[in-house]
Amino acid sequence: MSSDPGFDSYLKSEYDHIAEAHFRTIDTITAFFRHYLLIMSIPISLIAAFFAVAQSNDFSFEILGKYTPIVVVIFIIISVAGFGVLLYLISLRMDAILYARTVNAIRKHFYDNVPNYVMDLDLKTRKRVLPQTASQPSYLEWRYFGPVVCVIATVNSFYLFVATVLIADLNWQTVRVWTPPICLVFLGLHFVAYWLYAANREHAYLKSYILGVDICGVLNEHRPRFCEVLKKTVGKVVDPEAITVVPVHEHPMLGITREDEKRVFNEPEYWIEMSPTNSSVDRLRSIKNAFKIKVILFTHRPWPNTADMGRDEKDKILNGWEKAAEDYYQNGLKEGKLSKVRLFRTPLRWLRMKSGVAPIEQITRTWLEYHKYEYDKLIIEKGSDDISDPQGHFKNRFYISRQKKIKFFVEDIVEKAEKLAHICEVVFLFDHPYNRSPGRKLPTNIVRVKSWDDIYKAIRRLS
């Protein structure tokens, strides 16, 4: 089995640094635990010294009773701060396990690349004492880290117990009623927190089972539809395969102006009568259900664009869009293609549609439901759809992909795919003439696909 020497050198350096970070983290945990025990023993030592110096127990309790509120506050702060220290130690331990898993995965790479004639499987197994699987060790370590949790939980709960006793002012009837449940709940909270942290690291941290999907050019056949509407509204004839640049008005040979584009996209029928991409409905449903992946759809549709229009023309276009959206929706209901509840997921969203949602969103949602697409959320992008800088805070696919930790994304614009490749684990670039750039080196996590069948097979392999 061959391996790239440069990559091997990188992995070895990575191995050394991560292994060093692993041991540093273990040392930090040990130091924090030692300091925690030392700090927690100080109040007990002070109380013991106080009683030793006092002349009598009555005097001691008299003085102690005078400062009971202060002691109660201090003990509660100590118990809460101790809980915070435990959460920090748990996070450190989880990081140490993450480093150990990474080291194991790198170890596997090197053992896999040793030829069998140098070291057969039996010899590899005997020489390799440490594991080589990235799923070990477990994040939940009751036998190893459980005693640490137990000690901290006991000490924190003891201070809370003393505080509740002092609050009760030695009224033992009240103490018997409230102190045990409060302290037991607080004690159990330590173990629950540890379990939740471990579960989050195992199933959610640095992981996401979300598929982001662009609509235009991925779920619909927008090039043939553009050429149809262009011929109808402008009278220009263009072959869909000749569209090798997007936006189309930037193509130097097609003779299509920005105004031509605007006229096409300002036609509501362009969006309503768009055909779905072959097999996208069935394959998207299969991906969502078979792999338990959440599907978020994205589209940037700032239409109709009525800038630089007179008042009468603007009103005419807007009224036409509203009528087209309502007719499309009502016809879908009559044909049995739509359901009020299914279309907007909840009655509230249906009411939003009836009271001011933009016609393009109404049309988009209706189109998706009309063609039986299954998805979890639709994002109508706001602001610029090209800026990936998180400082911009645009509600676009880049910001939301970073926020939601989207794992897979299906895109058709190569520039956007390149930006998403720095955010998502895998970006599928849906093949079109306008995103074929011979000689352009794409990031290795961009996978060019020709159909939704290719996407389904790739996700099946990667899941």
**Average pLDDT, integer, range 169-184:** 69
For the CA atoms of 259, 265, 270, 276, what is the dihedral angle to 10 degrees?
130
Amino acid at the residue 360: I
Q: Is the pLDDT of residue 349 over 50?
A: no
Q: Are 192 and 119 within 8 A, CB to CB?
A: no
Higher pLDDT, 37 or 431: 431
- What is the C-alpha to C-alpha distance for residues 245 and 254, in angstroms, rounded to an integer? 10
- When pLDDT is cut at 50, 70 and 90, the band that residue 45 belongs to is confident
Q: Are 419 and 398 within 8 A, CB to CB?
A: yes
Higher pLDDT, 28 or 432: 432
Q: Are 196 and 281 within 8 A, CB to CB?
A: no
Q: Is the pLDDT of residue 277 over 70?
A: yes
Nearest Cα to 452, choosing from 241, 295, 317? Answer: 295
Q: Are 98 and 201 within 8 A, CB to CB?
A: yes
pLDDT computed for residue 346 by the predictor? 40
- What is the C-alpha to C-alpha distance for residues 82 and 186, in angstroms, rounded to an integer? 12
Q: Is the pLDDT of residue 351 over 50?
A: no
pLDDT computed for residue 392 by the predictor? 56
DSSP 177: H
**Average pLDDT, integer, range 194-217:** 90
Mean pLDDT across the chain, nearest whole number? 85
Q: Are 370 and 219 within 8 A, CB to CB?
A: no
Q: Is the pLDDT of residue 390 over 90?
A: no
DSSP 396: S
- When pLDDT is cut at 50, 70 and 90, the band that residue 3 belongs to is low
**Average pLDDT, integer, range 433-461:** 93
pLDDT computed for residue 113 by the predictor? 78
- When pLDDT is cut at 50, 70 and 90, the band that residue 69 belongs to is confident
- CA dist list (Å): 371 to 33, 284, 381, 402: 59, 12, 22, 29
**Average pLDDT, integer, range 189-202:** 94
- When pLDDT is cut at 50, 70 and 90, the band that residue 21 belongs to is confident
- What is the C-alpha to C-alpha distance for residues 402 and 422, in angstroms, rounded to an integer? 9
Lowest-confidence pick of 25-34, 76-85, 241-250, 408-417: 25-34
User: According to the per-residue pLDDT averaged within each range, which of 59-63, 239-243, 328-332, 351-355 is highest?
Assistant: 239-243
Both tokens of residue 124?
């590899």
- When pLDDT is cut at 50, 70 and 90, the band that residue 57 belongs to is low
pLDDT computed for residue 109 by the predictor? 82
Lowest-confidence pick of 211-215, 346-350, 417-421: 346-350
pLDDT computed for residue 256 by the predictor? 94
**Average pLDDT, integer, range 136-151:** 92
My answer on whether omega of the bond before 304 falls inside 30° of 0, hence cis, is yes
pLDDT computed for residue 350 by the predictor? 45
Q: What pTM value is reported for the model?
A: 0.76
pLDDT computed for residue 229 by the predictor? 96
**Average pLDDT, integer, range 326-331:** 91
- What is the C-alpha to C-alpha distance for residues 375 and 284, in angstroms, rounded to an integer? 8
Pairing of strands 377-380, 446-449: unpaired
Instruction: State the residue for tokens 């053992």.
Output: 111
- When pLDDT is cut at 50, 70 and 90, the band that residue 173 belongs to is low
**Average pLDDT, integer, range 125-149:** 84
Q: Is the pLDDT of residue 296 over 60?
A: yes
- What is the C-alpha to C-alpha distance for residues 30 and 161, in angstroms, rounded to an integer? 27
Lowest-confidence pick of 8-22, 143-157, 257-271, 342-356: 342-356
**Average pLDDT, integer, range 311-323:** 92
Q: Is the pLDDT of residue 353 over 70?
A: no
Instruction: State the residue for tokens 């696909």.
Output: 449
Nearest Cα to 420, choosing from 443, 439, 436, 392? Answer: 443
Higher pLDDT, 430 or 203: 430
Q: What is the number of other CB atoms lying within 10 angstroms of the CB of residue 365?
A: 23
pLDDT computed for residue 119 by the predictor? 67
pLDDT computed for residue 427 by the predictor? 97
Higher pLDDT, 368 or 440: 368
Lowest-confidence pick of 163-167, 214-218, 301-305: 163-167
Residues paired with 448 in a beta bridge:
429
pLDDT computed for residue 345 by the predictor? 45
